[in-house]
Structure 1
């Protein structure tokens, strides 16, 4: 009975460890993705601002 309880606890601990690693990776990927998207939008805005001509000239 004791080994069964310990086995269940080990399985739950391993599942939580795997989920923690997955969420840590997803959090890191989310931050990196956000930085890349903001950088691309900023670059596009700066590039479009330089090539835009004034109206009436």
Structure 2
């Protein structure tokens, strides 16, 4: 791992993703939001799943 990646990972600026693939993926950590990831089984593309509100119900 290059030194800059090592430093950013050790400083908790980057997170390492375990996507069960042959290479490592890193992303900037966002303390406010968490993102889930999915991997396309056909092409291997990594897709970030962003949470969103499906529907809002008015309060009772």
TM-score by length of 1: 0.25
Rg larger in 1 or in 2? 1
TM-score by length of 2: 0.24
Task: Between the two structures, name the one with larger relative contact order (CA 8 Å, sep ≥ 6).
Answer: 2
